[in-house]
Amino acid sequence: MATINENYLKLQAGYLFPEIGRRVSEFIAANPDKKVIKMGIGDVTQPLVPTVIKAFHEGVDEMAKADSFKGYGPEQGYGFLREAIAEHSYKARGIDISPDDIFISDGSKCDTGNIQEIFGNENKIGICDPVYPVYADTTVMSGKTGVCQLNGYYEGVIYMPCTEENGFIPELPTEIPDLIFLCYPNNPTGTVATKEELKKWVDYAKANKSIILYDAAYEAFIQDEEIPHSIYEIEGAKSVAIEFRSFSKTAGFTGTRCAYTVIPDELLAYDSEGNTHKVKKLWNRRHSTKFNGVSYPVQKAAAAIYTEEGRKENEEVIAYYMENARIMGKSLKDAGYKVFGGKNAPYIWVKTKNGMKSWDFFDKLLNEANVVGTPGSGFGPSGEGYFRFSAFADRENVLEAMERIKNLK
Ligand SMILES: *Cc1c(COP(=O)(O)O)cnc(C)c1O
């Protein structure tokens, strides 16, 4: 008799995006003449830059000739890409990361989920609220939690509220998590963590033998010189943190798929007898057993981001999104909303007026301004009363959406 992994039965139905889709379709069906502007999605809208496309094409052409054809590549990724990352993403910022500590993959979503299987199920997981839903759901799937409670919190997870009061950086929890998910610049709040704030977490992890799972998917959007791009900019972080990075948002690879995970050689975890083990060794074992590498043309395209031309072109795309974010931040503020984020991240986190619930604001915005955003409560209970706007949009739509919101009654 085949049985299932019953942890899957604990999962709450993926509610947020299907529900948004349902309400939008219903509105469009009833109002076919209205132009709906979507500012809810966390997906890029601008195409890959020319230098990346050129390298991508070259990679494909190499596959067409016998003398340059490539079969299976190294599971960890090609040396040329790992070296380019170590050089340009880390060494250029004064961080010493060996190419051997970098694992190329097809996405950070997969990596942040898959990483859980190399850690024991007795680990307590610390998760921010509101949060990118993948961390919680994959924690449930891996069997590290109890059931979902009425307030939307899973039993056995240590939730760390991120609120206006704490500047959307959680307080160090009194019940100590063994694995701590942090994401800065943050999705959904668009806020960032300073060096001092991250140092608190690194020291806390060190003191408690915990590991920080640091999602830096939006690091390329940081504008402020003082804000760290990597957790490894904090002294001592290499012995307590894994870092996830992705080309998805930083270079428009959401549909092309390429990301990487950094596990420093010095990062250790314990077995039940208290002996230490290199985390990197376990991840390497997992990665080379269950993954067969990212396609060669894609890795070649990703490496082109680090050329002078590629970097310049990409910076222009990021500047375009950040100008959207600036316009949105200013317009929403002028319209009387309290606005967070959007300065070093492509997300604007808006407090609704007069304590309006997130979903009520969603309906008002859809019905009266024909604009779609994402209700904050969909990211966790502490997101109630907030709303996320994404700067991944066309300028024309941003300007029109902001004009409509300004005119809302
Ligand atoms: C978009 C996003 C990612 C990237 O996921 P990929 O699988 O690499 O496309 C990772 N973390 C967060 C918080 C994101 O919003």
3-state DSSP: the chain helix, strand, coil percent, rounded to 5? 45, 15, 40
Residue 220 CA to residue 318 CA, distance in Å, equals 8
Are 287 and 370 part of one and the same domain?
no
Are 278 and 376 part of one and the same domain?
no
Are 261 and 335 part of one and the same domain?
no
Instruction: Name the pLDDT band for 40 (thresholds 50, 70, 90).
Output: confident
Query: Which residue minimizes the CA distance to atom 15 of ligand 1?
Result: 187
Number of domains in the chain: 2
Helices 50-63, 296-303: crossing angle, 10 deg rounding = 150
Instruction: Name the pLDDT band for 150 (thresholds 50, 70, 90).
Output: confident
Instruction: Name the pLDDT band for 364 (thresholds 50, 70, 90).
Output: very high
Are 313 and 228 part of one and the same domain?
no
Question: Which of these, 259, 257, 267, 171, lies nearest to 218 by C-alpha position?
Answer: 259
Are 161 and 270 part of one and the same domain?
yes
Residue 64 has pLDDT above 80, yes or no: yes
- Cross-strand partners of 57: none
Residue 14 has pLDDT above 90, yes or no: no
3 belongs to a structural domain: no
4 belongs to a structural domain: no
Mean pLDDT of the chain: 97
What is the pLDDT at residue 403?
97
Pocket test for ligand 1, best of 134, 248, 390 (most atoms within 8 A of CB): 248
Ligand 1 within 6 A of 246 CB? yes
Are 388 and 335 part of one and the same domain?
yes
Could you identify the residue written with the tokens 């981001």? Answer: 305
Burial class of residue 80 in the structure, from the number of CB atoms within 10 Å of its CB (0-12 exposed, 13-18 middle, 19+ buried)? middle
What is the pLDDT at residue 407?
94
Are 37 and 60 part of one and the same domain?
no
CB atoms within 10 A of CB 159: 22
Are 317 and 296 part of one and the same domain?
no
Which CATH number do you get for residue 24? 3.90.1150.10
Helix, coil or strand: residue 226 = coil
Domain limit, last residue, from 307, 334, 360: 307
Which CATH number do you get for residue 103? 3.40.640.10
Ligand 1 within 6 A of 46 CB? no
Are 211 and 72 part of one and the same domain?
yes
Domain limit, last residue, from 307, 326, 357: 307
Domain limit, last residue, from 307, 341, 370: 307
Rounded distance from Cα 65 to ligand 1 centre (Å): 34
Domain span at 328: 13-47+309-406
225 belongs to a structural domain: yes
What percentage of residues in the chain have a pLDDT greater than 70? 100
Ligand 1 within 6 A of 215 CB? yes
What number does the ligand 1 atom closest to the CA of 186 have?
13
Are 219 and 329 part of one and the same domain?
no
